Amino acid sequence: MFSLLGGIALAADTAPGSEPGEDETLIADASTAAVIEPAAAPPGGREKSKPKKFEFTLLDRESVNIKYSRKGLEIKSRSGNYTARVRVRSQLRYSYPYDSDPRKDSHFGAVKTNDIYFRRARLKADGVAFGKWFKYNFEYDLVDPRVLNLYATAKVKDWLQFRGGQWKADFSRERVTSSAKQQFVERSAVNRDFTVDRQAGFGILGHLMPGTRGDSWYYVNVLTGTGRGNGFDDDSQPMIVGRYQWNFLGQDMGFSSSDLEYHDEPAASFAVAGVTNRSRYTRFSSGGGSQLDGFEAGEAGQYSLKQAMGEFFFKYRGLSIQNENHWKNIYDNINLDSTDMAGSYAQAGYFPHNLLPIVPKKLEVGYRYGFVDPNTAIPSEFRQEHTVLVNYFFEGHSNKLSFDVGRVSLDRADMPNLSVWRYRVQWDVHF
């Protein structure tokens, strides 16, 4: 299975069930470039327009068609049983005075820097093999060379699908959503402490009662629990992840922020998820397993993790709202210590053109508030962020310019609080 994946470099952080976005739908024909007239305005809605086609046929044979379009390089067999889409994504960012969230006293006192750099650069590809029932996905980090995603999903029925390989554990929306399709320049302050990130293993998932009020997704993952690129540790236990998402208005919105689709009817979902794990780590990221602030480097099986998450997501006529609430317990099996953590964020985005036609259609504004309490039993530290955002979508999430301003603070018991303003500008584009 994975020999096929290795031969075609690819990745798109799109989980089964995510609806095709502006950069996802395959172009049906290989005609020359043409302008598509805007579609008629839907009753009670706004005028929707389609982008101009941009497409070059590189090879058109009896058995295979190869073309380049806004979606990247596409290779497709005539039968449609074998396809590949290969893209390169770059994310150029300027930040001041810090890029990541300051979390400790020393971070707030660090030297301020004006920094412009490639925050992310990825080689991505995805497609099908043996038929549409078998999908594969691969993503490679070009900034810090490493394999990020390498997995395949086999669909028996909508409600019964199997996955194997390495991918982002199906836990929280904020983390599962690709950084290419997130609303803000970077994920919230909650992400670092509560994500379970990429893991290797197997999973079962399914889409239940699609298009009805019972429309929902379930996910069950059995993973190594030691982070990207790692196998089981001695004395460790598998990471078990469960997620249930109810799309209670009958629409599945997938994992993509901002209401670029302009939903004429309200779409919303509730989700709950849980995690158990025992390993040497207390946190995970794209770099693998590591430790949260205040935890020493662990031995195999030293830390037992339990996590729970509740989530809300909503889109309607250019407005999008999402919220997550997290709880996490870390038990040190050597020192016999227990730590409870809590965190939450809520964010909203809106396209003002819907109220003020003078504002460009492709401009979005947003606001986010988030907090992390690293130890709920001790009122010692409390981290918060307030961030405002402006996005301009040249080609949806495939080509967008973002600017955000945030106020990050650290509240300390019996000591003066610390805070700092943060500014970031980012251009995210796919080729």
The domain spanning residue 47 has which CATH number?
2.40.160
pLDDT value at position 231? 80
58 located within any domain: yes
Q: What is the pLDDT at residue 154?
A: 98
pLDDT band at 132 (very low <50, low <70, confident <90, very high): very high
Q: Answer yes or no: is 273 within a domain.
A: yes
- Position 383 in a domain: no
Any domain includes 417: no
Alpha-carbon distance 87 to 23, whole Å?
A: 11
| pLDDT, mean of residues 317-340 | 97
Does residue 198 belong to any structural domain of this protein?
Answer: yes
Domain count, the chain: 1
CA distance 204 to 248: 22
Please check whether residue 95 lies inside any domain of the structure. Answer: yes
Domain range for 267: 2-342
Within-domain flag for 352: no
The separation between CA 100 and the C-alpha centre of its own chain, rounded to angstroms, equals 17
The average confidence (pLDDT) of the chain is 87
What per-residue confidence (pLDDT) applies to 50? 54
Q: What is the pLDDT of residues 102-119, one digit of tens each?
A: 888 778 877 677 788 899
Strand 381-393 vs strand 363-373: parallel, antiparallel, or unpaired? antiparallel
Residue 23 lies in a domain: yes
